C-alpha cells in the first residue's frame, strides 16, 4: 500500500497469473494483425506477453497461452485436465523418486529431431539463469538456485533420459505438461531473447508473426504429429487495450473467440450470444496481495490488519452486483474444479463479511501502531477491473474508516513489470490460473518461500514444511489432508486476500464451431473449425 504519511515505504514485488500460474488476465487492445494471403484464421483476443516466448521465463496468461500451443512437452492436458503423453513414448516410475523417459520420434518445425538433450538442456538453463519458473524444478536432485546443472537429470541416449528427485513428490508427473517443462531447440541458447521473439516450435502451431501490442499469428506446424493437430488454418491473436472493444468486435463478426466478457456486458451477454455464450467453472483464483514488507503490514500488526481487510468487504454482494454471478466467492486459496477441494476448511471464516469484527481488529492493530495512510490496490485498467476495485475499496473505506482507493495502471504488462521488478509500493490485484490440476499448484508457486509467483515475498517455515509433507504423501487423500492444514496457516497470515473464483465467462461467433473451453479457461484452439 502506498502510505501518504511521512514514514518511508519499502518497495515490494508482487503478483503472478500468477495471476497467475500462472498470473491471469484477459485484457484487451486495438485490433491489429493481418489475414496473410487471405488465410481463414480463427480470430481471438490475447494480452501482450510480458517477455519473449521462452517457456521457463513465462508466468503470465498472455505468454502462457501462446507457449501452450507453440510447444509440446512430455505430456499435455485435455479439456478436462487429464494428462496424456505428448512427446513421451513412456514415463516409467522406478522406486519412489526416479523416472525413465523415452521419447517418440518427433521434429522441430525446421526438421531437426527432438532429443533428450533438448529437454535436459532447457530445464538446466531455466535453473542456471534463474528464470521466472525455476522453482518448478526444486524436486529434482541437485536443484539449487543458479546451479549450472541438476544432478538428477541424466541423458542416456538421444531418446532416453532419467529424472531423479531429491524427495518423493506426489504430483511431479502431473507437472510435466506445464510450460517450464517444455524443451528448447538447440539454437535457443545462442541468444535466448532473440529466440523468444521468433521461437522454433514443436507444438501444433508455429509463430508466423508477432507484431508487438497488435497481434500474434500462429499457423499450423506441419512437423507436429501429436494428438493436438490443428483443425484450422491458424489462430490470429489480436491484442486489445479494452475488453469492451473486443466484445464489440465479437458481436460484429470481427472476432471469433473471446475468453472474457467485459463487466459492461455481463448482464446481457447470454441473451446476445445465445448458445454461443460460455459460463462454466474454471481453475482460476482471484485475490489481491499485500506485500510482506510494507509498513503496518508486518508481524502481529500486519496479521490483524490483513484479517480486518478480509472481513471488511462483502464478496457475495460484489459477486452479484458487479459480476452478475459469473464469479463465486472464495472459500480458500485454490479452486472448486480441482480434485481435493474442500469448501468448509478450518479458519476460512476470515473470508466472511463481518464489518464489526473487522473494525475491532483494525483498532487492535492501531493500538500497536497508528495507521494514517492511504490503502491502495493497484490494477491494470485494460482488464476491466475498475468496477470491482471501486466497490471493494469503497467498502473498506466505510467499514474500516480509512482512505482506500484503486491505483490504475494503463495495461497489464506495465503492472507486471513493476511487480516483478519490486518497484510497486501498494497492494495489487493477483490471482492464479492453474498450470496443472493440483491443489499444490495453487499453494506452492504463490506462497512457498521463493515460489515462482510468490510476488508478495511471503515466507513461513511452518507453511513450507507442511507443503513438503503433502508432496511426500503416499496417497492423494493424505496429500489433500496436508494441503488443508497448510491452508489453515494461510488463513492466519493472509499473504493474499482471497476474493472469488472466476468462471469462464466467454463466447464465440457464428463463424466457428467445435469451441470448447478447457478446465483452465483457455479455449482448445487446435480443435476449433472455421467456415
Averaged pLDDT for residues 151-167? 97
User: What cell does 173 get?
Assistant: 508427473
> Which of the four pLDDT bands, split at 50, 70 and 90, describes residue 11?
very low
Give dist(CA 421, CA 112) in Å, integer: 37
> DSSP labels for 118-146?
HHHHHHHHHHHTT-TTGGGGTTBTT--TT
Give dist(CA 487, CA 446) in Å, integer: 12
Q: Is residue 37's pLDDT more than 80?
A: no
CB 133 within 8 A of CB 60: no
The closest of 11, 5, 491 to 293, measured between CA atoms, is 11
C-alpha pair distances (Å), 288 with each of 19, 187, 252, 381, 403 = 10, 39, 35, 15, 17
Q: What is the CA radius of gyration of the chain?
A: 22
Q: Is residue 253's pLDDT more than 60?
A: yes
In this predicted structure, what is the pLDDT of residue 94? 87
In this predicted structure, what is the pLDDT of residue 326? 87
Q: How far apart are the first and last CA of the chain?
A: 50
Number of H helices, E strands in the chain: 14, 19
Residue 59 burial class via C-beta count within 10 angstroms: exposed 0-12, middle 13-18, buried 19 and up:
buried
What is the percentage of the chain residues whose pLDDT exceeds 70? Answer: 93
Using DSSP, state whether 277 is helix, strand or coil.
Answer: strand
In this predicted structure, what is the pLDDT of residue 18? 35
> Which of the four pLDDT bands, split at 50, 70 and 90, describes residue 21?
very low
Q: What structural domains does the chain harbor? A: 75-189 (3.90.76.10)
Q: Is residue 79's pLDDT more than 80?
A: yes
The closest of 182, 166, 124, 117 to 149, measured between CA atoms, is 124
C-alpha pair distances (Å), 84 with each of 5, 67, 158, 231, 516 = 55, 18, 22, 19, 18
Averaged pLDDT for residues 41-53? 95
> Which of the four pLDDT bands, split at 50, 70 and 90, describes residue 14?
very low
Q: Mean pLDDT in the chain?
A: 90
The tens digit of pLDDT for each residue in 403-415 reads 999 999 999 889 9
Q: Is residue 331's pLDDT more than 90?
A: yes
CB 493 within 8 A of CB 299: no
In this predicted structure, what is the pLDDT of residue 60? 85
**Which residues, other chains included, contact 37 with Cβ-Cβ below 8 Å and sequence gap of 6+?**
none
The tens digit of pLDDT for each residue in 332-356 reads 999 998 989 999 999 999 999 999 9
pTM assigned to the model: 0.74
In this predicted structure, what is the pLDDT of residue 249? 97
Using DSSP, state whether 13 is helix, strand or coil.
Answer: coil
In this predicted structure, what is the pLDDT of residue 26? 38
The closest of 287, 322, 241 to 19, measured between CA atoms, is 287
Give the distance between the most distant pair of CA atoms in the chain.
Answer: 69
User: What cell does 258 get?
Assistant: 473471446
In this predicted structure, what is the pLDDT of residue 429? 97
Lowest mean pLDDT among 3-7, 53-57, 193-197, 381-385: 3-7
In this predicted structure, what is the pLDDT of residue 169? 86
Per DSSP bridges, beta strands 215-220 and 235-239 are antiparallel
In this predicted structure, what is the pLDDT of residue 364? 98
The tens digit of pLDDT for each residue in 105-129 reads 999 999 999 999 999 999 999 999 9
Using DSSP, state whether 258 is helix, strand or coil.
Answer: strand
In this predicted structure, what is the pLDDT of residue 437? 86
Cα dihedral across residues 132, 186, 522, 331: positive or negative: negative
Averaged pLDDT for residues 474-498? 94
Averaged pLDDT for residues 47-56? 95
Bridge partners (DSSP) listed for residue 235: 42, 218
The tens digit of pLDDT for each residue in 279-295 reads 888 899 999 999 999 99
In this predicted structure, what is the pLDDT of residue 22? 42
Give dist(CA 475, CA 489) in Å, integer: 22
In this predicted structure, what is the pLDDT of residue 315? 98
Averaged pLDDT for residues 49-57? 96
C-alpha pair distances (Å), 326 with each of 70, 464, 523 = 30, 33, 17
Lowest mean pLDDT among 3-7, 250-254, 343-347, 396-400: 3-7
Amino acid at each position: 500500500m502506498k502510505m501518504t504519511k511521512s514514514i518511508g515505504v519499502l518497495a515490494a514485488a508482487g503478483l503472478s497469473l500468477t495471476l497467475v500460474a500462472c498470473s491471469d488476465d484477459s485484457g484487451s487492445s486495438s485490433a491489429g494483425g493481418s489475414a496473410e494471403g487471405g488465410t481463414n484464421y480463427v480470430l481471438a483476443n490475447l494480452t501482450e506477453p510480458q517477455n519473449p516466448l521462452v517457456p521457463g521465463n513465462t508466468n503470465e496468461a498472455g505468454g502462457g497461452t501462446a507457449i501452450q500451443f507453440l510447444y509440446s512437452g512430455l505430456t499435455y492436458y485435455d479439456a478436462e485436465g487429464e494428462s496424456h503423453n505428448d512427446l513421451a513414448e513412456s514415463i516409467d516410475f522406478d522406486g519412489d523418486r526416479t523416472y525413465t523417459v523415452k521419447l517418440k520420434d518427433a521434429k522441430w518445425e525446421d526438421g531437426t529431431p527432438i532429443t533428450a538433450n533438448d529437454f535436459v538442456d532447457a530445464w538446466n538453463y531455466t535453473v542456471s539463469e534463474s528464470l521466472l519458473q525455476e522453482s518448478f524444478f526444486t524436486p529434482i536432485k541437485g536443484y539449487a538456485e543458479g546451479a549450472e546443472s541438476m544432478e538428477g537429470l541424466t541423458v542416456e541416449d538421444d531418446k532416453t533420459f532419467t529424472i531423479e528427485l531429491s524427495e518423493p513428490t506426489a504430483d511431479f508427473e502431473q507437472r510435466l505438461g506445464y510450460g517450464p517443462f517444455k524443451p528448447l531447440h538447440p539454437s535457443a541458447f545462442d541468444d535466448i531473447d532473440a529466440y523468444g521473439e521468433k521461437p522454433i516450435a514443436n507444438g501444433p502451431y508455429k509463430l508466423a508473426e508477432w507484431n508487438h501490442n497488435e497481434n500474434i499469428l500462429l499457423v499450423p506446424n506441419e512437423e507436429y504429429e501429436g494428438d493436438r493437430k490443428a483443425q484450422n488454418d491458424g489462430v490470429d491473436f489480436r491484442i486489445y487495450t479494452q475488453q469492451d472493444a473486443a466484445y464489440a468486435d465479437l458481436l460484429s463478426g470481427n472476432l471469433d473467440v473471446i475468453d472474457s466478457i467485459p463487466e459492461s456486458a455481463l448482464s446481457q451477454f447470454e441473451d446476445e450470444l445465445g448458445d454461443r455464450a460460455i459460463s462454466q467453472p474454471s481453475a482460476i483464483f482471484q485475490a489481491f496481495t499485500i506485500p510482506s514488507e510494507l509498513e503496518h503490514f508486518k508481524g502481529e500488526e500486519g496479521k490483524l490488519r490483513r484479517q480486518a481487510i478480509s472481513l471488511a468487504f462483502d464478496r457475495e454482494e460484489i459477486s452479484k452486483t458487479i459480476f452478475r454471478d459469473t464469479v463465486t466467492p472464495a472459500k480458500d486459496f485454490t479452486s472448486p474444479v480441482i480434485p481435493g477441494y474442500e469448501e468448509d476448511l478450518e479458519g476460512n471464516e476470515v473470508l466472511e463479511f463481518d464489518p464489526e469484527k473487522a473494525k475491532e481488529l483494525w483498532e487492535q492493530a492501531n493500538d500497536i501502531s497508528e495507521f494514517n495512510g492511504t490503502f491502495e490496490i493497484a490494477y491494470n485498467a485494460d482488464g476491466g477491473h475498475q468496477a470491482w476495485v471501486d466497490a471493494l475499496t469503497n467498502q473498506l473505506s466505510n467499514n474500516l474508516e480509512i482512505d482506500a482507493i484503486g491505483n490504475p495502471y494503463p495495461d497489464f504488462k506495465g503492472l507486471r513489470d513493476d511487480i516483478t521488478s519490486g518497484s510497486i509500493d501498494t497492494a495489487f490485484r493477483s490471482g492464479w490460473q492453474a498450470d496443472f490440476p493440483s491443489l499444490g499448484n495453487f499453494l506452492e508457486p504463490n506462497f512457498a518461500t521463493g515460489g515462482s509467483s510468490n510476488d508478495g515475498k511471503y515466507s513461513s517455515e511452518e507453511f513450507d514444511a507442511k507443503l513438503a509433507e503433502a508432496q511426500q504423501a503416499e496417497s492423494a487423500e493424505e496429500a489433500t489432508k496436508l494441503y488443508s492444514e497448510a491452508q489453515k496457516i494461510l488463513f492466519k497470515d493472509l499473504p493474499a486476500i482471497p476474493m472469488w473464483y472466476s468462471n469462464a465467462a466467454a463466447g464465440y461467433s457464428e463463424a466457428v464451431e467445435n469451441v470448447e473451453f478447457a478446465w483452465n479457461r483457455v479455449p482448445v484452439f487446435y480443435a476449433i473449425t472455421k467456415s
